[in-house]
Amino acid sequence: MEEMKQLVVISGKGGTGKTVISAALATLARKKVLADCDVDAANLYLLLHPEIQEEYTFSGGKKARVDVDKCTGCGNCLEVCRFSAISGGENGKIAIDPISCEGCGVCSLICPVEAILMENTVSGKWFVSSTKYGPFVHARLGIGEENSGKLVTAVRKKAKEIAERNALDFVIVDGPPGIGCPVIASLSGTDLALVVTEPTLSGIHDMERVIRVAAHFRTQAACCINKFDLNLRMTGTIEEWCRANSVPVVGKIPFEEAVVQSMVQGIPVTEFGVNGASQEIKNMWLRLNSLLCSGG
């Protein structure tokens, strides 16, 4: 392989099997680094059992805090805050709701008595770990924090750096659900987006939207239909849509109890005895490999 390739696993809809598939790919790909970019509900560690080697704190932004001794209660800040984070507090002073504050700092800038301080928040932690399957970069976003996109970017940057330093072939990114900020941060600049869907109306709709996001950011997409045998008619609809939109369907994974059982035991499904799901994931990896190596 000439240069390192980045594969991101996304889905639009949550709970379609991104993490189970990412963990399985971790057991199949050679020379790779893994990254869990679903930073606000990270699960990949439950299957990879990382040993943490390095730990970093992440400060994604600031939050306003009022110094009540200085506050005169003039209310100028109330008028400029667009996030409804400031309200009248006790004793004619103001109160700031840290959960609503988006850290723009406008209140602090216009306060006539410098009573509002902008403080760095520790909004998460991220880790470089070793696993049986190779290096793993993962994170934990602080409770209710902003800037999950920035934390995703930090995780991806480190993963890429590890891959380059060690001349690895792949960065495998387990992405978040949805189509918003953390998805865009997980997707941008990758070589291929594996979109995991399920044969349900919601699954199809959400897959279409996330594939359009991938196209918007010029990332090639491939589709994997998980639990395809749950509704063969819907599976047919997905295949038709993919054909019409030149998205290759690289895997159709059967609905099997072994998948949940392996997750309960904390083992990637491909290492959980012989089962049809892992056989299909192995075949899918071969197809993904050739898509990635053909230059995407």
Partner 1 sequence: MILSVASGKGGTGKTTIAVSLALSLCKEKPVQFLDCDVEEPNAHFFLKPHLVSNCPVSIPVPEVNEEKCTYCGKCAEVCAYHAIAVLKDTVLVFPEICHGCGGCGLLCPEKAIKEKGQRIGIIELGSSTGIEFIHGKLDIGQAMSPPLVREIKRNIDSTRLVIIDAPPGTSCPMVEAVKGSDFSLLVTEPTPFGLNDLRLSVEILREMNIPVGVVINRAGIGDIGVEAYCREENLPLLMTLPFDREIAVAYSEGIPLVEAKPAYKEKFLELYTKVQEWKK
56, 240, 249 from 14: Cα distances, Å: 28, 22, 19
Exposed, middle or buried by CB within 10 Å (0-12, 13-18, 19+), for 2? exposed
The yes or no reply on residue 16 touching partner 1 (CB under 8 A) is yes
Structure tokens at 115: 């009573």
Exposed, middle or buried by CB within 10 Å (0-12, 13-18, 19+), for 69? exposed
Integer Cα distance of 95 and 88 in angstroms: 6
The yes or no reply on residue 14 touching partner 1 (CB under 8 A) is yes
* DSSP secondary structure code for residue 189 in this structure: T
Integer Cα distance of 227 and 253 in angstroms: 6
Of 178 and 291, CB closest to partner 1: 178
Stretch in the footprint of partner 1 (CB under 8 A) among 48-56, 128-136, 138-146, 162-170: 138-146
In whole angstroms, the minimum distance from the beta carbon of 198 to partner 1 comes to 8
In whole angstroms, the minimum distance from the beta carbon of 284 to partner 1 comes to 20
In whole angstroms, the minimum distance from the beta carbon of 83 to partner 1 comes to 8
Structure tokens at 195: 């979109």
Q: Which of residues 55-114 bind partner 1 (CB under 8 A)?
A: 61-62, 80, 82-83, 99-100, 102-106, 109-110
Number of residues that bind partner 1 (CB under 8 A): 65
Q: Answer for the pair 126, 49: CB distance below 8 angstroms, yes or no.
A: no
Q: Answer for the pair 48, 56: CB distance below 8 angstroms, yes or no.
A: no
Integer Cα distance of 74 and 228 in angstroms: 61
77, 79, 90, 93, 171 from 69: Cα distances, Å: 16, 21, 12, 9, 51
Of 263 and 284, CB closest to partner 1: 263
In whole angstroms, the minimum distance from the beta carbon of 209 to partner 1 comes to 6
Integer Cα distance of 188 and 42 in angstroms: 20
Which of 78, 230, 258, 267 forms a contact with partner 1 (CB under 8 A)? 230
Of 207 and 291, CB closest to partner 1: 207
Q: Which of residues 28-57 bind partner 1 (CB under 8 A)?
A: 39-43, 46
Of 75 and 180, CB closest to partner 1: 180
Query: Footprint of partner 1 on this chain (CB under 8 A)?
Result: 11-16, 19, 39-43, 46, 61-62, 80, 82-83, 99-100, 102-106, 109-110, 141, 143-146, 148-149, 176-184, 198-203, 205-206, 209-210, 212-213, 216-217, 230-231, 234, 257, 260, 263-264, 266
